[in-house]
Structure 1
Amino acid sequence: MYHYKYDRPNNNPWQKDRAVVLQDLLKGLAVETIPEEGNKTERNKMMSQTTPKNIIMYGPPGTGKTYHTIYKSLELLDPSIDKDLLDNPDRRDEAAKLFNEYKEKNQIMFCTFHQSYSYEDFVEGYRFNPEKEGFEVKDGLFKTLCHMAHPQTSERQTTYQFDEDQVNFFKMSLGNIYKSESEQIYHYCIENNVIALGYGGAIDYSNCTEKSEIEEKFRAKYSNDTPFNIDAIERFKNWMRNDDIVIISSGNKKAKAIGRINGGYYYNPNTEIRYKHFRPVEWLYTDTELPVNAILKGKRFSQQSIYMFYREDINVESLRNLLTDDSDNNKKTPHYVLIIDEINRGNISKIFGELITLIEPDKRLGSKNELTVTLPYSGDIFGIPSNLHILGTMNTADRSISLLDTALRRRFEFIEMMPDYSLLPTDTDGVNIRQMLKALNERIEYLFDRDHVIGHALFLSEEKIENYLKVMQSKVIPLLQEYFYDNWEQIELVLGGSGSKGDEDVFLWKEEIDSKKLFGKNVHGNNPLKYSLNPFPSKNALLNVYENYQADEE
């Protein structure tokens, strides 16, 4: 229960009592807390107990939030995954390889929020199109992934369990999208279960089995016309075979239909459209908006009216997810994950806009309280599919969880990630790195707060004293300077003390400034102190950090 200023019973905490209030808040949000140390299996077991739709992994810098997005993503994509793969650090390379395979299939996408990131980048917005010499609506990352997870289509006509080694993949345009007749041609083809080609002229090529025969017929009637007419007919008539897959493009970034060729070439000059060359197809998808990366790997559709894709450019697994049914080969509906790094650094209200409501699990497409909205730029009716997970990471040193937008907080489940001291060595050339980091963090928590402690990941380098000294000099001390706004007295307390200039056994040197030498007289009474960093600290500087620290009994 939350306590407000007008209804606090006696003995309830005021807002300044941050630790107590935060615990109350976390209970209300059903936050999971990852153990700070101890059995690694238990740590990961707690992370994998539930598979919610929206998760934020939060904690101080260096606690492995981004590192663990690989494991959490794999678990969300396949809840039945081998748990040893998630628990065993020796299998990290195997997990990373599987993660990258999912990325190639577009089941995982990644972005980082920042102050300039906007709704137009995330959902949709106007972008200049040099081909049209004007602005057009372009889908953002989130809308694109939603369309891949749940293709926006009037109806999937049928399924197709294809063999990628036995079929070819073609792209075709049914009319020019910038001309008014385009829709007429497209709808004629959909209604009549055909694909049509506008090149080749008014000639019947039914008896032409070789390209030379096509060329001879074409040149006899159209001697000065473009040679692409010949290439187009050759591809359409002789290259395409039954069971090949044809993608109907809508511009160079989307597909509007997918068909399976199931008949040979024929010529028909007596139709309501001007195209005269046809092949029968079985439509698998119609009236859809599939992003190009659901079909191709890192490429866009070419403007050519007809061409065959290179097999290595086809995103086979993504296409298979679209064309096969859930029941095919006991296949389950594929899941998708959007990873948002530094989610708290963006303006959440601005980036999500009206979609902040739709990300709730019970508002997703197909759920009990399904909701859709009309998007402001495109006018599309849009909903968020249930098989899409949002996985965010958040650095609490940048912004406390208590300062997050309330609308965001109540729509996400939170996993707190604190330093895992069990991963650090207890004896590296006589230095207990685990004890040293504990001492640093307990002092930071006492002087500042727990949101700004230092993560174990900073010290997961090769176990050498030289490496740990470098981490302290180049990462830890600069963080302390930022945390304490160059309040060197507090930094000195965190580091376990200081020494005089030239002392190699400390990280900080401290000396009095003799104002009389500077000004000829004492200026402020007591001489001020000057701090400087020891450029070449010894191993003893690490030991001195925790020399006077008394750890709690474990």
Structure 2
Amino acid sequence: MEIHSKNLIYYGASGTGKTYQTVVKALEIITGTPTYDQNLYEHYRKLGQIEFVSFHQSFSYHEFVEGISAETQGKHIRYFVKDGIFKLIAQRALENQQLVSQQTDLVPFEKVFDVFMSPIFEGEQEKIEVKMRGKSFFVVADNGDTIDIENHARNPYYSLSKKVLRERYLTGSLKTDKRYAHWYNFLAIELLKIAKKFQEERKKVAPQNFVLIIDEINRANISKVFGELITLIEDSKRLWASEAKTVRLPYSHDEFGVPQNLYLIGSMNTSDRSIAQLDIALRRRFVFIEMPSTPALLKGKIIEGIDLERLLTKINERIIFLANQSQEIGHTYFYEVNTIADLAQLFTFKIIPLLQEYFYDQWEKIALVLSNKYGECEFLQKKNLKAKDLFKKNIDNLKHEKATYQTKNWNELLNNQIYKEIYE
């Protein structure tokens, strides 16, 4: 299904391919083709069409939009406005959109006239020849409101109205005495020739899309980071849209709006925070696309008899039963698993630490998630501490026994049977 919004957020549990998908979508927006190509991605980053930022708890408006910064110059401190990443990419996108929109517009009269008169202004020539059907006349001076011309007729000098010439250039209409019409017409033709050259150069500017990728968008305080700009990112509030809006920025006092060719792509880990807990302003202005854990993508991947699809499916079903769906294990964790050693290290260094986050200080539940059909967990070392062995007196109000757990070393997890027994 094609998504038309310019503001997207991919959400899901850890390891479901959210960051991967942001790259695919960014390249699709820029090139028209959905593809994952890290070299192409870096190419567009260097060109400034893609920017990447990770939000964190202390990330602020000053880093995102603009803020006051300081630098030392000798014994003095200079304060200046420093643009943030959002403002910088928005300015690039706006510049491209303005250049593209100007390609179909007539070049301003003043700009073309200055180019025409430049040989005189710069002292290279005393007069400029304008040819007309075998004859010529010469422009010799610009007097502000009038233009002096020299003609080899009985009356050699005339003054033409710049206002009349501007009207002829812009609209093609001519309101003047017929005796002078030919001079206006042929002078306008010269100006239109210059305008055509400008337009040909403008056509070299191709329309471009720009993408700001915001990783972990839910980790920052959205209302503080976006400030008043949260309204401007709406499709209908962008520049040249039906309800276009701009704001005056607090530090630079620049008039700021969000251009049509700037896309915002966020990713959020639902293990940290659910969509329901998000700032309502963010929820209203972004389209949310779920990235679920998909064990089926591991179909046929068998490592020393261990069916990774069945293994992950069973683990996730247990997590959902004991916690919730937003705290699954993502399928991408298993993409690089090619040996039993890879799998053992994955469980020791990533899967079990992730389960510790999901079930903080609830080791019994972690043991249940990884238990075999006998209810035993081969991935954790369990030790029972007994009150009577630790304390000699005053133990009546204490628990008699407490279980402690420790993750086994990865080289103790090289037995393929302990993985198979999770799902068999």
Alpha-carbon deviations, 1:248-292, whole Å to 9, x = none?
xxxxxxxxxxxxxxxxxxxxxxxxxxxxxxxxxxxxxxxxxxxxx
How has the CA–CA distance of structure 1 residues 519 and 497 changed in structure 2, closer, same or farther, with 3 Å as cutoff?
Answer: farther
Q: CA deviation at 1:449?
A: 0.9
* Structure 1: gaps spanning 5 or more residues: 1-45, 87-91, 160-188, 195-203, 207-322, 548-554
Q: Work out which of the residue numbers 379, 389, 413 in structure 2 matches 1:537.
A: 413
- 1:413 alignment counterpart: 287
Matched, 1:355 2:226: no
Matched, 1:495 2:367: no
Alpha-carbon deviations, 1:188-222, whole Å to 9, x = none?
x999669xxxxxxxxx9x9xxxxxxxxxxxxxxxx
Give SS of 1:115's match. coil
Q: Distance in 2 between matches of 1:96 and 1:527?
A: 54
Q: Distance in 1 between matches of 2:66 and 2:348?
A: 44
User: 1:44-83 to 2 correspondence within 5 Å?
Assistant: 46=1, 49-79=2-32, 81=33
Q: Distance in 1 between matches of 2:113 and 2:220?
A: 46
Q: Distance in 1 between matches of 2:277 and 2:19?
A: 21
- 1:135 alignment counterpart: 79
Q: Distance in 2 between matches of 1:518 and 1:324?
A: 88
- 1:186 alignment counterpart: none
How has the CA–CA distance of structure 1 residues 325 and 383 changed in structure 2, closer, same or farther, with 3 Å as cutoff?
Answer: farther
Matched, 1:380 2:251: no
Please say if residues 426 and 435 of structure 1, whose CA atoms lie closer than 8 Å, have aligned partners that are also in contact.
no
Q: CA deviation at 1:458?
A: 1.3
Alpha-carbon deviations, 1:411-453, whole Å to 9, x = none?
0001110112133244211111111111111111111111111
Q: Distance in 1 between matches of 2:241 and 2:359?
A: 48
- 70-79 or 392-401, larger mean C-alpha shift: 70-79
* Structure 2: gaps spanning 5 or more residues: 104-110, 117-121, 125-197
How has the CA–CA distance of structure 1 residues 352 and 113 changed in structure 2, closer, same or farther, with 3 Å as cutoff?
Answer: same
Please say if residues 97 and 261 of structure 2, whose CA atoms lie closer than 8 Å, have aligned partners that are also in contact.
no
Give SS of 2:313's match. helix
Q: CA deviation at 1:528?
A: 2.7
- 1:480 alignment counterpart: 355
Q: Distance in 2 between matches of 1:437 and 1:157?
A: 52
Match for 1:136: what amino acid?
Answer: F
Q: Distance in 1 between matches of 2:57 and 2:213?
A: 17
Alpha-carbon deviations, 1:374-394, whole Å to 9, x = none?
111111111100100000010
How many residue pairs get aligned? The number is 334
Please say if residues 326 and 332 of structure 1, whose CA atoms lie closer than 8 Å, have aligned partners that are also in contact.
no
Q: Work out which of the residue numbers 292, 313, 316 in structure 2 matches 1:441.
A: 316
Give SS of 1:354's match. helix
Please say if residues 61 and 225 of structure 2, whose CA atoms lie closer than 8 Å, have aligned partners that are also in contact.
yes
- 2:385 alignment counterpart: 513
Matched, 1:125 2:67: yes
Match for 1:76: what amino acid?
Answer: I
Q: Work out which of the residue numbers 43, 68, 74 in structure 2 matches 1:101.
A: 43
How has the CA–CA distance of structure 1 residues 125 and 488 changed in structure 2, closer, same or farther, with 3 Å as cutoff?
Answer: same
Q: Distance in 2 between matches of 1:325 and 1:52?
A: 33
Q: Distance in 2 between matches of 1:335 and 1:71?
A: 14
Please say if residues 66 and 84 of structure 2, whose CA atoms lie closer than 8 Å, have aligned partners that are also in contact.
yes
Q: Distance in 2 between matches of 1:193 and 1:153?
A: 25
Match for 1:510: what amino acid?
Answer: K
Q: CA deviation at 1:488?
A: 1.3
Alpha-carbon deviations, 1:509-537, whole Å to 9, x = none?
33433433334587556533232332212
Please say if residues 13 and 329 of structure 2, whose CA atoms lie closer than 8 Å, have aligned partners that are also in contact.
yes
Q: Distance in 2 between matches of 1:356 and 1:525?
A: 53
Alpha-carbon deviations, 1:348-367, whole Å to 9, x = none?
00010000000000000010
User: 1:70-469 to 2 correspondence within 5 Å?
Assistant: 70-79=23-32, 81=33, 86=35, 92=36, 95-130=37-72, 133-151=77-95, 328=203, 332-424=206-298, 425-469=300-344
TM-score (norm 1): 0.55
Please say if residues 513 and 530 of structure 1, whose CA atoms lie closer than 8 Å, have aligned partners that are also in contact.
yes
Please say if residues 497 and 508 of structure 1, whose CA atoms lie closer than 8 Å, have aligned partners that are also in contact.
no
TM-score (norm 2): 0.70
Please say if residues 149 and 336 of structure 1, whose CA atoms lie closer than 8 Å, have aligned partners that are also in contact.
yes
Please say if residues 506 and 538 of structure 1, whose CA atoms lie closer than 8 Å, have aligned partners that are also in contact.
no
Please say if residues 370 and 422 of structure 2, whose CA atoms lie closer than 8 Å, have aligned partners that are also in contact.
yes
Alpha-carbon deviations, 1:161-195, whole Å to 9, x = none?
xxxxxxxxxxxxxxxxxxxxxxxxxxxx999669x
Q: Distance in 1 between matches of 2:352 and 2:336?
A: 17
Q: Point out the structure with max Rg over C-alpha.
A: 2
Q: Distance in 1 between matches of 2:374 and 2:389?
A: 22
How has the CA–CA distance of structure 1 residues 528 and 357 changed in structure 2, closer, same or farther, with 3 Å as cutoff?
Answer: same
Q: Distance in 2 between matches of 1:426 and 1:337?
A: 35
Please say if residues 245 and 257 of structure 2, whose CA atoms lie closer than 8 Å, have aligned partners that are also in contact.
yes
Q: CA deviation at 1:145?
A: 0.7
Match for 2:382: what amino acid?
Answer: K
Q: Distance in 1 between matches of 2:356 and 2:200?
A: 57
